[in-house]
A and B are shown apart, each in its own frame.
Chain A
Amino acid sequence: MESTGNQHNQGMHANHNLTGFIIFLCSESVIFLAFFSGYALLKLNALDWLPHGVEGLEWQTPLINTFVLVSSSGTIYLAERQMARHNVWGFRGWWLATMALGGYFLWGQAVEWSGLKFGFTSGTFGGTFYLLTGFHGLHVLTGVLLMALMLGKSFIPNNYKGGEQGIQATSLFWHFVDVIWIILFVLIYVWQRS
């Protein structure tokens, strides 16, 4: 009797965690909304959007990065499915694959940054570019670190009773980062002409 009461409490508490995390993500999305609307406003009102010597942004590498990130949303879903079937090693495999894709995305972003001819002081174009991609990259990094934490936790015995909430939250965060990237890709790379 006492143990069921205890479990009930634990379940409720875990639900709080997920509720709190969803509320936090809603709030976090507003900061991106602020950056996106600021970017659009500055771009629409700019006289010379591109700094001297910059023709535009190369979009092939970022497109590959986009495919990588979108497919990582698929792999994290598969990892969650494996978890639901209590196949822990299947979960770890897909989870690790997601982490690898996230890591590849970050590496691709770093390669792109190092090849650019402008810095963050190159007018509002440079400033907003590095602000948006950098702030998003920070979220990708956070996501990868969260996944590493969850992977480590999966090796603690008997951690799954109510422990899936952490995985759910990480997965939710990862989809969030993915959606933000798609909007960002459209705003920065697809919409080149101001």
Chain B
Amino acid sequence: MTLASYDPRVLKSNAPVPGAPDNWKRFFSFNTDAKVIGIQYITVAIFFLLIGGLLAMIMRGELITPENDLVDRTVYNGLYTMHGTIMLFMFIFPVLNGLNNLLIPTMIGAPDMAFPRLNAVAFWLVPIFGVILISSFLLPGGPANSGWWSYPPVSTQNPLGNLVSGEGMWLTAVALSGVSSIMGAVNFVTTIIRMRAPGMTFFRMPIFIWTAWAAQSLQLIGLPALTGGAIMLLFDLVVGTSFFQPEGGGDPVLYQHFFWFYSHPAVYVIILPVFGIFSELFSAHSRKPLFGYAFVALASFAIVFLGLIVWVHHFFPSGVPEWMRNLFMVTTMLISVPTGVKVFAWLATIWGGKLRLNTPMLFSLGGLFNFVFAGVTGIMLATVPIDIHVNNTYFVVGHFHYVIYGAAVMGIYAAIYHWFPKFTGRMYYEGLGKLHFFLTFIGTNLNFFPMHPLGLMGMPRRVSSYDPEFTFWNVVASLGSFLLGVSIIPFLINMISSWVRGPQAPQNPWNAIGLEWLLPSPPPAENFEENVPTVISGPYGYGTGKPLVENQSAYENQSLLEA
């Protein structure tokens, strides 16, 4: 694996190539290069995906029979708490930050992030709070077990009375995750605002940049509220204040407001970049310009605005006043308008296009299918009477797993396959990729669809035993979860083997439009360095023949070398 096998431009600059598999040691160092950090984020996140998935499979193993026979009930409580926490704070946010690190600088033509050292610190916090969270399994009282939302008064019980409790470790880890995300968000937003290539006006930015910007703005507005709530909860737990303790005049519902003021927008932090990925991929693999670019771009910020004023729909039954229920029902339904704008724009983009059904496109199409399904159940849940009926049942669990796994994770897989050749310089194996897609798509639907009938029948979430009438759908869901567990195997084999000895990737394997595709594969450390191209048109000129940048052929022929 010598550098000689890479692009001549890379060879000339004589600098290490961030995404190349040679010299793997730099991925374990405090490296400030955004492309190294991006790969670090994604790798660590997938490691935690395996842990979170294992916990989920233990739970599904417990639920394959109605009796409580595999794990202790307290252990079960710890399992679902840690599953949710790991998947959100240690898998999905880090993996998206990894994509942001890879894509934001290359897509806007910046050499790196605005604050490279801050970027590295933000990344290294992830393994630190990951270890803190995972090590809480070793405590005498076990890990936190009050659910990933940690509502008081359950979360402030601390029955063993130890100073170091699972809940305390959980709060510390979540607070550190918040610090890391804020560092990341400040960095991403500053980079997007200040470091775009010449000529790249806001309305020439790729949709992924729009959505990343929107999502990171939500982090900046929402996360401090969760941090505030977490600090108050930690004080309640450790030093005996009574912010959320009714016996001391406190209000447990106040915590729910703090928690969901962030954690609802967090859903959009997750799904907005995936909307960006869909927009990029549908356009590139349908060979058509994105339909309604400006509307898709602005809909991102409409979602930011509306996403901040829907949080109460998470606790309609928690004794919130009638006017609040009505208000938040309306705002929740309104948010389907900008989301619908995007969905129809994608459909119109695909319509009549020359579709290439390769792995990234299959994952995008599958993700879109699951997202529409989740959107339909989302509208149902927004309705107060239905929500109160199915609150805390498997219907809700099914709904958000369709969003998070069905749409977001499949979109993330699509992005990984789509940009893998760019950042590693290697092609993945298409057959394994397709196998991964079919296993994932079937597994997702087999696992999460049965939760809807279960919820409507009245099966509550977070229980380790249930009435035998629920057995059939639970067995189906459990089989689906094991299939999902299997589906990760071809993915891992594909990623590792093709990164180490896959075929060389060309500069632009998809004939896609975008600044990142004008760079060699893998891009050199400083991307374009001094030769940043001047953008002269919008980002999705497929079939229009319009060049994206001035002197485009020079970049395509890589005659930059002589310049």
A residues contacting B by CB (< 8 A) are: 12, 15-16, 19-20, 23-24, 26-31, 33-35, 38, 41-42, 45-49, 120-121, 123-128, 131
A12 & B220 in contact (Cβ 8 Å cutoff): no
B242 & A121 in contact (Cβ 8 Å cutoff): yes
Residues of B within 8 A of A19 (CB): 114, 190, 193-194
A-B contact pairs, 10 of them (CB 8 A): A20-B187, A23-B190, A24-B182, A33-B225, A34-B224, A38-B228, A42-B249, A46-B249, A124-B243, A128-B243
Given A27-B221, A38-B258, A120-B239 contact (CB < 8 Å) = yes
Among B114, B221, B235, the residue within 8 A (CB) of A16 is B114
Chain A binding surface SS class:
helix
A31 & B227 in contact (Cβ 8 Å cutoff): yes
Residues of A within 8 A of B187 (CB): 20
| 13 further contact pairs, Cβ within 8 A, besides A34-B225, A47-B249, A131-B232 | A19-B193, A19-B194, A20-B190, A31-B225, A35-B228, A38-B254, A42-B249, A121-B239, A121-B240, A121-B248, A123-B242, A126-B241, A131-B243
Residues of A within 8 A of B227 (CB): 31
Closest residue of chain B to A127 (Cβ to Cβ) is B241
Given A16-B114, A26-B220, A38-B232, A127-B242 contact (CB < 8 Å) = yes
Among B186, B225, B251, the residue within 8 A (CB) of A42 is B251
A34 & B243 in contact (Cβ 8 Å cutoff): no
B114 & A27 in contact (Cβ 8 Å cutoff): no
B189 & A131 in contact (Cβ 8 Å cutoff): no
A16 & B229 in contact (Cβ 8 Å cutoff): no
Q: From residue B320, how far is it (CB to closest CB) to chain A in Å?
A: 12
Given A34-B228, A121-B240, A27-B182 contact (CB < 8 Å) = yes
B residues contacting A by CB (< 8 A) are: 114-115, 182, 185-187, 189-190, 193-195, 220-225, 227-229, 231-232, 235, 239-243, 248-251, 254, 258, 261
Residues of B within 8 A of A128 (CB): 243
Among A31, A35, A47, A121, the residue within 8 A (CB) of B241 is A121
**Cα–Cα distance between A188 and B236 once the two chains are bound (Å):** 21
Closest residue of chain B to A29 (Cβ to Cβ) is B224
**Cα–Cα distance between A125 and B242 once the two chains are bound (Å):** 9
B249 & A48 in contact (Cβ 8 Å cutoff): yes
Given A24-B182, A46-B249, A127-B225 contact (CB < 8 Å) = no
Q: From residue B315, how far is it (CB to closest CB) to chain A in Å?
A: 15
A120 & B228 in contact (Cβ 8 Å cutoff): no
In order of increasing CB-CB distance, the 8 nearest A-B pairs are A34-B228, A31-B224, A30-B224, A127-B241, A27-B220, A20-B190, A34-B225, A16-B114
Q: From residue B419, how far is it (CB to closest CB) to chain A in Å?
A: 25
Q: From residue B173, how far is it (CB to closest CB) to chain A in Å?
A: 18
Residues of A within 8 A of B225 (CB): 30-31, 33-34
A131 & B235 in contact (Cβ 8 Å cutoff): yes
Q: From residue B373, how far is it (CB to closest CB) to chain A in Å?
A: 34
B258 & A34 in contact (Cβ 8 Å cutoff): yes
Q: From residue B136, how far is it (CB to closest CB) to chain A in Å?
A: 25
B224 & A12 in contact (Cβ 8 Å cutoff): no
Chain B binding surface SS class:
helix
Among A23, A123, A125, A131, the residue within 8 A (CB) of B186 is A23
Q: From residue A27, how far is it (CB to closest CB) to chain B in Å?
A: 4
Q: From residue A45, how far is it (CB to closest CB) to chain B in Å?
A: 6
Residues of A within 8 A of B186 (CB): 20, 23-24, 27
**Cα–Cα distance between A74 and B448 once the two chains are bound (Å):** 60
Q: From residue A44, how far is it (CB to closest CB) to chain B in Å?
A: 10
**Cα–Cα distance between A121 and B220 once the two chains are bound (Å):** 31
**Cα–Cα distance between A30 and B182 once the two chains are bound (Å):** 12
Residue among B189, B194, B228 with max Cβ neighbours from chain A (10 Å): B228
Q: From residue B428, how far is it (CB to closest CB) to chain A in Å?
A: 35
B240 & A16 in contact (Cβ 8 Å cutoff): no
Residues of B within 8 A of A124 (CB): 242-243, 248-250
B221 & A127 in contact (Cβ 8 Å cutoff): no
Closest residue of chain A to B183 (Cβ to Cβ) is A24
Residues of A within 8 A of B232 (CB): 38, 127, 131
Residues of B within 8 A of A45 (CB): 251
**Cα–Cα distance between A30 and B84 once the two chains are bound (Å):** 25
A16 & B220 in contact (Cβ 8 Å cutoff): no
A27 & B185 in contact (Cβ 8 Å cutoff): yes
**Cα–Cα distance between A34 and B221 once the two chains are bound (Å):** 11
**Cα–Cα distance between A45 and B189 once the two chains are bound (Å):** 38
Residues of A within 8 A of B195 (CB): 16
Residues of A within 8 A of B240 (CB): 121
Q: From residue A130, how far is it (CB to closest CB) to chain B in Å?
A: 8
Residues of A within 8 A of B243 (CB): 38, 42, 124, 127-128, 131
**Cα–Cα distance between A12 and B115 once the two chains are bound (Å):** 12
A123 & B248 in contact (Cβ 8 Å cutoff): yes
**Cα–Cα distance between A111 and B173 once the two chains are bound (Å):** 35
Given A31-B227, A121-B241, A41-B251 contact (CB < 8 Å) = yes
Residues of B within 8 A of A33 (CB): 224-225
**Cα–Cα distance between A45 and B193 once the two chains are bound (Å):** 43
Q: From residue B526, how far is it (CB to closest CB) to chain A in Å?
A: 12
Q: From residue A69, how far is it (CB to closest CB) to chain B in Å?
A: 22
Q: From residue A129, how far is it (CB to closest CB) to chain B in Å?
A: 11
Q: From residue A175, how far is it (CB to closest CB) to chain B in Å?
A: 19
Q: From residue B137, how far is it (CB to closest CB) to chain A in Å?
A: 30
Residues of B within 8 A of A123 (CB): 242, 248-249
Residues of A within 8 A of B193 (CB): 19
Closest residue of chain B to A45 (Cβ to Cβ) is B251
Residues of B within 8 A of A42 (CB): 243, 249-251, 254
Q: From residue A183, how far is it (CB to closest CB) to chain B in Å?
A: 15
Among B190, B224, B254, the residue within 8 A (CB) of A41 is B254
**Cα–Cα distance between A17 and B380 once the two chains are bound (Å):** 45
Residues of B within 8 A of A26 (CB): 220
**Cα–Cα distance between A28 and B227 once the two chains are bound (Å):** 10
Q: From residue B384, how far is it (CB to closest CB) to chain A in Å?
A: 22
Q: From residue A123, how far is it (CB to closest CB) to chain B in Å?
A: 5
Closest residue of chain B to A24 (Cβ to Cβ) is B186
Residues of B within 8 A of A20 (CB): 114-115, 186-187, 190
Residue among B190, B194, B223, B261 with max Cβ neighbours from chain A (10 Å): B190
Q: From residue B187, how far is it (CB to closest CB) to chain A in Å?
A: 7
**Cα–Cα distance between A178 and B193 once the two chains are bound (Å):** 28
**Cα–Cα distance between A35 and B258 once the two chains are bound (Å):** 10
Residues of B within 8 A of A27 (CB): 182, 185-186, 220-221, 223-224
A16 & B115 in contact (Cβ 8 Å cutoff): yes
Residues of A within 8 A of B114 (CB): 16, 19-20
Q: From residue B190, how far is it (CB to closest CB) to chain A in Å?
A: 4
Residues of A within 8 A of B228 (CB): 31, 34-35, 38
